[in-house]
Structure 1
Amino acid sequence: MNKIIPVSCAIIFSDRKVLCAQRSHTMSLPGLWEFPGGKIEVGESPEACLIREIKEELAISIRIGYAMTPHEHSYSEGQIIRLIPFVCSWESGNIDLLEHQKVKWLAKQELKFLEWAPADFPIVEDLIGNWNNIEKQLVDYKRER
């Protein structure tokens, strides 16, 4: 029986770029790039998890816009990561690398040049393919608030 581990991740937009984080050498998959986030705890919503994880990993506050299509990836036999991406905007704070070794703000055309963690790769493809629509929805969402 496969165990599905729910994980939420943030696609954080600022100035038409997205925040990408490089995993440190103390993490699994060191040196690979990902969208920051983490495992959802029992009783925690994916959104609450993401707000907590981004504070813990990067020391910033985000505003969650909406969820993108989740993707599942199996890193090891019997364990499947269900990665739930959320389009977000950076609200406040200065980035402090508490877990990752590096972050980059990248434009759409730059995303494909990073070496991504396998679970994040389908999200990168979705993001590139839907970039203009995502940006428009994020702007509309900000306007409504």
Structure 2
Amino acid sequence: MSYQPHLFPVSVKGVVIHDGRVLLLRNERDEWELPGGKLELGEEPAQCVAREIAEEGSWQVTTGPLLDVWQYHIRDGVDVLIITYGCRLDTDVAPVVSHEHKEAGLFTEAEVSALPMPDGYKKSILSWYARLSAQAT
């Protein structure tokens, strides 16, 4: 019997904080998620997240440090490898949600814990808030 590796799509997500609030998008499962999307063949993850944030929220960003990598089990037979980056906003315009999501929202660090979203996203968000806070002091 030959080895059959598990294959997972890779989704690259960005934590973008503007005026103390993180950008989140509400998906078809009525969960909040970080902006980002599927890594394309030959694409660098940092380029992917910048492209996806521009497509999904109309925000131009500079991709910063890698925050986390984790496997998200959506439902039986559907798992995704999630890569999260901290990102810096390069614009002052309000986010504009694309057709891919129901709504865009900007949330404070304190509001994040009560939102319906995977714990991995919450961990990445809190990590980026902590790094930015440490840089500010």
What's the counterpart of residue 45 of structure 1?
A: 44
Could you list the runs of 5+ residues in structure 1 that have no partner in the other structure?
141-145
Contact 1:20 1:33 in 2 (8 A): yes
What's the counterpart of residue 114 of structure 1?
A: 115
Could you list the runs of 5+ residues in structure 2 that have no partner in the other structure?
none
What's the counterpart of residue 133 of structure 1?
A: 130
C-alpha deviation, 1:138, in angstroms: 6.0
TM-score by length of 2: 0.82
Q: Percent identity?
A: 22
Query: Matched residues in 1 for 2:134 and 2:63: separation?
Result: 12
Query: Matched residues in 2 for 1:76 and 1:4: separation?
Result: 13
Contact 2:59 2:89 in 1 (8 A): yes
CA RMSD of aligned residues (A): 2.2
What's the counterpart of residue 104 of structure 1?
A: 105
TM-score by length of 1: 0.78
Count residues in correspondence: 131
Query: Matched residues in 2 for 1:83 and 1:55: separation?
Result: 18
What's the counterpart of residue 15 of structure 2?
A: 11
Query: Matched residues in 1 for 2:124 and 2:13: separation?
Result: 14
Change (3 A) 1:4 1:139: farther
